[in-house]
Amino acid sequence: MEYATIQITVPKDMKTYFTDNYSGESNEDLERNALLLYPYVYKKVISHGRAAEILGIKKLDLIDLYDDMGFPYFDMDITDVMQDIQTFHSLKKIKT
């Protein structure tokens, strides 16, 4: 995988959390980079699949990683789920 170097501005106390020698082997580096991509995934600027490609991992591995960090793949609350179930039952009645 090819890597590019970018410069970002962060608070001085955060500097220790960023390394200049990314090897792709550290799980902490992977988690950090996944967290940097998460806002773009959440806002649907990029998909989970594209974020996984960028990180060099499988989509399901990224979904599991985000889940372990507390970011669920499905962000529906119980009201949304119940509404989907009602819609399903309504459509099922129309077909029969």
Domain boundaries, the chain: 12-95
Q: What is the pLDDT of residue 10?
A: 75
Is 58 or 96 the better-scoring residue by pLDDT?
A: 58
Query: What's the half-sphere exposure (Cβ side, CA atoms, 13 Å) at 39?
Result: 2
CA angle 45, 84, 59 (to 5 degrees): 35
**pTM score:** 0.62
User: Which residue carries 């590019």 as its tokens?
Assistant: 4
Q: What is the pLDDT of residue 2?
A: 73
95 confidence band (pLDDT: 50, 70, 90): low
pLDDT single digits (tens) 24-73? 557 888 898 899 999 999 999 999 999 999 998 999 999 999 999 999 88
